Structure 1
Amino acid sequence: MNLHYETVSPLLKETLQKLVNSPIFKDFTLIGGTCLSLQLGHRRSIDIDLFTDIDYGTMNTKEMKEFIQRSFPYSENTDSLDTSALGYTLYMGDSPIDKIKVDFFYTEKFIFPIQEIDHIRIADIREIAAMKLSAITEEEPRQKDFWDIHELNEKYSFKDMIDWGIKRNEWSVTEEGILNGFQK
């Protein structure tokens, strides 16, 4: 499979490649809209979501912070890595204007095998479908999540996607919750 790099900016591609080529981030997997746009080529994407299913509290945030500060001319919010959290939202790039938002989060175990394409650990499209259906159950779902679900529905049945969403988030996602998400 060839990735659709035309869906991301050159800075996003460069940022992603710097991160995934460092052993510090070997346990992180690209997920979310950017992962989906790179695989399907259906829309532009502007941020990076890197999730890990390692045990909570085992992210080496000290090394992450040092790497980011050393590797990027500009970084923002790296001090958040000094505290223990479920996730971190950072900005990195060339300047305060030319930067990429990057999220690093712990997640539940992945339910589908992770692929590696161009040295990037990439979530299976079905995993992203499960996560997108979970996202629309939130208080204020984002329009781009509905667009992504529409694109995914071209490839997979809605019933299968609901089943994956429930399997991935069995304690918080229900079929009723997903269907209600479409009425917001």
Structure 2
Amino acid sequence: MHPRVLSKAGWSTVRQLAAAGITDGWTLAGGTALALQIGHRYSEDLDFFRTGPFDVGSLLARAAHVGEVRVLSRTGDTLHVLLAGLSIGFLKAEAPLLFPGSEYRGLSLADPRDIAAMKVVAIGGRGSRKDFIDLYCLLKGGMNLSEILSLVEQRFTNIDHNAYHLQKSLVWFEDAEAEPMPHMIRDIDWQMVRQEIEAAVKAMSV
């Protein structure tokens, strides 16, 4: 694991959330969960998921006991807040996880394979630069794109994700390139990211 992905202040907030029982029943997924496991970039945002319903109001009240909370967005099944400099999201998962996660410092981390499927779905919507970089690192770490697309089909059975559309989205970088590079730990160049993903998509069409 790679604890330096989060700042000392970030870990302090995580400890307080765990001590208050706020993270119980939640799985950390997304870029930070991946970064903690592979150590490719720094992060100051936490995205927690669960499949069952939850009381947004109760969750917000409990978080307020940890520190000053600023609500960024709130719906019936999502809550995004800013707490002690951390952007924290609590979201209802679209589908159950396929693989068991791992426990680390009071957090339940999603398996990288589940995160990979989520990243491709996110890019299919509107991929951020972080999403593409995370996908690049997953590919360089030994996953292949056809495997990831298969995981999307297995996990999100209740959602119609068109494989052709997803592949086209994976080589649409314009929106992502309007964003800055995240604060990296590994020496990764954006052009490397583009080339790796373009090659992976091209290999699927051969």
Tell me, yes or no, whether TM beats 0.5: yes
What root-mean-square deviation, in Å, do the aligned CA atoms of Structure 1 and Structure 2 show? Answer: 1.9
Find 2:71's aligned residue among 72, 77, 91: 77
Tell me the residue number matched to 2:186: none
Does structure 2 conserve the Cα–Cα contact (< 8 Å) formed by 1:37 and 1:43?
yes
Give the TM-score of the pair, scaled to structure 2.
Answer: 0.75
- Correspondence for 1:34 among 32, 39, 46: 32
How many percent of aligned residue pairs carry the same amino acid? Answer: 24
Q: Which residue of structure 1 aligns with residue 170 of structure 2? A: 182
Where in structure 1 do 4 or more consecutive aligned residues deviate above 6 Å?
A: none
Task: List aligned pairs for 1:1-184, cutoff 5 A.
Answer: 3-54=1-52, 56=53, 59-72=54-67, 74-77=68-71, 80=74, 85-93=76-84, 99-107=85-93, 108-138=95-125, 140-154=126-140, 155-170=142-157, 171-184=159-172
Cα offset, 1:166, TM superposition: 2.1
Worse-superposed segment, 32-41 or 156-165 = 156-165
SS in 1 for 2:65: helix
1:15 maps to amino acid: T
Gaps of 5+ in 2: 173-206
Q: Distance in 2 between matches of 1:62 and 1:158?
A: 39
C-alpha distance in structure 1 between counterparts of 2:22 and 2:59, whole Å:
7
Counterpart amino acid of residue 168 in structure 2? N
> Taking structure 1 as the reference length, what is the TM-score of the superposition?
0.84
Aligned-partner Cα distance in 1 for 2:19–2:161 = 34
Cα distance, 1:25 vs structure 2: 2.9
Q: Distance in 1 between matches of 2:39 and 2:153?
A: 26
